[in-house]
A and B are shown apart, each in its own frame.
Chain A
């Protein structure tokens, strides 16, 4: 028996409502009751393959279609237990969507998903001298900007750097270079923060 066990097959669990077998779907095939969300990675939760290259339109589409079925608004007149499970399902779907929608969130999640043992050195900003110095220089430049036009130059550079960083991350994940991806994920986090600070700084100047 054990020999035939297939790891990719979801566990069979009993439906809480009718007691029949459920193979990991959100609804029971037999009695149609909504099931608790269970433990799943964000990609498989949304029915996606684990990949850094997610098309935002596709992500929205699967997100909306799942929420259409599982959002608590669909269970407003159902039993308390069904309401609770739908809330848990919708929460898990929101969590998956929010994490995967943002390139940094997605990269960070994939590094954790794939680098299960110990995270490689260099994922910490303090350990990356080049990034540390670059970060300090850009912050200084931002603090010294006195006109919106000055800030725009920094914003434009951050936007371009983010674009390049995302393109590089895509390659590294495709080659399964988790250590390299981890370093760039840290860089992306800093670039994202810089872009946000630039926006906030600009708002203050106007």
Chain B
């Protein structure tokens, strides 16, 4: 507990305890694979299993009793028990089912319900259980947490998790919720390309303007960053949250299935068979990154069909998808106010950048061969681990990120009024004033959307809420200020206030596709053996941090201005300080709270004396040291 009494420089973070239980892990929660890494002393390390494998396939198999198996083992079960296995769940994070592609009319997911009015969270049928994407992602995170704990030999409960830069608010919130289910506190959500740039930039000591081209399993991001003296400043970002290697697999599977239909006739596929077809297609794609041709067998419904594919045909199949990424990259360059000549290097991230056509086209677009000398599967997790260390131990590096999508609200006629444009540095807060349009209007509906289009229906609906209790006035007389705040995680809070009356409402945006607080609470209760303890533990930790802060502050004040107190006053105060120090060592959260409050009260007269002297010295324009002749009163 000694560290509580340390006084540190502004902005600096105290060193962690010995034994390092404060360590936070970096997690790349991917569509296809996930990776966990740690960093100590700026030495990042990717955590591997006994076989030296870092990649944990983001695939979960469920047993009839609901227990989960995550990773390679689950993926191997896919062919035998496809109805019990789920992959690519990231594509459903914070989204509706309409964003998932079907194959021959069948989805690779067995959908149980899509919520009321198509909103709300999707539920999947897996091995006879109804599961949300948040729970399934939570199980993947639990497995990664376990890997870290096995490796470190102690509990891990803090993390930095990466998300696609282009993830909207709903998907970010869903990711944070999944972490909560896994018992992981998220110190920060970091954008994947930014994490990759951090890892790459620190490793190579690069300075200048760089592009990160990140084509993962299910998401695509391009970011343009300026790297300078440890600052990683994102100039612009863009992408597509449903474009990735999965779509390549999908295109190849369609090709195989149409060949098969020609030979064996049309047949509707089950969800399980779709998973098998996609897996075969993925193998073909991966082989063709090195080989120039090959042959693959589809084994569905007891009938086998064999399919030959060469690199040229493959390139033709995925050409459209690759050119979509190039269009986006062009827009991002424009947004960043840069052209290809300004960009010193293009960092390639994500397993799908192994596709030779992708490397070739990116090279042409930026006019230079892309940088492929890093492991595209591990660099994001390494960046997350470095950021986790920076957040817990302190660091000289600084990540300055931006909003990927414009935020606005619906106005008359279904138009969007943009309040925070895309590529604005975060954190950011912007306010806009609105007024009533009818006499006596007492409520106002506010509809928050995210996206670049002019019409509401073309954008993503984030949340709707009503500001009530506006006093009846003539139309146009009320002044309603709506403030949007986006924090460093890219998460949005909206507050509305009526100026003349001071009526206020704050809405942490719980998006249309998200889980309600009650649903979250139920899940925490149901699925987590230690959910309750966990919550109590967290509240206790928070109380300790807050009380420690108070203790630090008063001790520092005593050290600086202690002469303002006479002997009795000082003794009185020290008694209260000692009591709080004692309470912090205990486990009674209420007792810590009361002792901290008592200290705040007891130190008030001391604070008043300090203020009094400060103001007097300011008025005279002299330093405090010149006022030493003033003896403390009382």
Contacts and interface: CB of A to CB of B under 8 A. Distances in A.
B123 to A, nearest CB: 33
Contacts of B390: 73
B120 interface: no
Interface in B543-571: 545-546, 549-550, 552-554, 556-557, 560-561
Given A12-B614, A97-B425, A18 B556 contact: yes
* Closest 4 pairs (CB-CB, A-B): A19-B607, A21-B614, A18-B553, A31-B553
A116 interface: no
Contacts of A33: 549, 553
Given A19-B604, A31-B557, A80-B546, 8 more contacts: A12-B618, A26-B10, A30-B557, A34-B11, A64-B398, A71-B488, A72-B487, A94-B424
B104 interface: no
Given A12-B611, A20-B614, A21-B610, A76 B398 contact: no
23 contacts: A4-B621, A15-B553, A18-B557, A29-B560, A30-B556, A30-B561, A31-B556, A32-B556, A64-B229, A64-B231, A64-B398, A68-B11, A72-B488, A73-B188, A74-B394, A76-B187, A76-B188, A77-B391, A80-B542, A87-B488, A91-B427, A91-B429, A94-B424
Counting chain B residues whose Cβ lies within 8 A of the other chain, the interface size class is: 35 or more
Interface of A: 1, 4-6, 9, 12, 14-15, 17-21, 23, 26-34, 64, 67-74, 76-82, 87, 90-91, 94-95, 97-98, 199, 203
A78 B27 CA distance: 22
B7 interface: yes
A81 B621 CA distance: 32
Contacts of A12: 611, 614-615, 618
A166 to B, nearest CB: 16
Contact of A73 (B229, B488, B560, B607): B488
Instruction: Output the residue of B187, B391, B427, B428 with the most chain A CB within 10 A.
Output: B427
B488 A19 contact: no
A33 B11 CA distance: 9
B289 interface: no
Contacts of A32: 7-10, 556
Nearest to A94: B425
Contacts of A34: 10-11
Contacts of B9: 32
A20 B488 contact: no
A37 to B, nearest CB: 11
Contact of B399 (A19, A73, A87): A73
Contacts of B8: 32
Interface string B595-617: 00000000110111011011100
B375 interface: no
A31 B552 contact: yes
Contacts of A29: 560
Interface in B136-160: none
A19 B428 contact: no
B334 interface: yes
B125 interface: no
B580 to A, nearest CB: 14
B20 to A, nearest CB: 13
Contacts of A95: 428-429
B607 A20 contact: yes
B459 interface: no
A81 B396 CA distance: 23
A32 B390 CA distance: 20
A16 to B, nearest CB: 9
Nearest to B395: A73
Contacts of A78: 13, 545, 549
B609 to A, nearest CB: 9
A21 B549 contact: no
A97 B542 CA distance: 33
B393 to A, nearest CB: 9
A77 B398 contact: no
Interface string B360-402: 0000000000000000000000000001001110101011100
B619 interface: yes
Nearest to A97: B425
Nearest to B545: A79
Contacts of A9: 618
B614 A19 contact: no
A34 B13 CA distance: 13
A87 B487 contact: yes
A126 B387 CA distance: 51
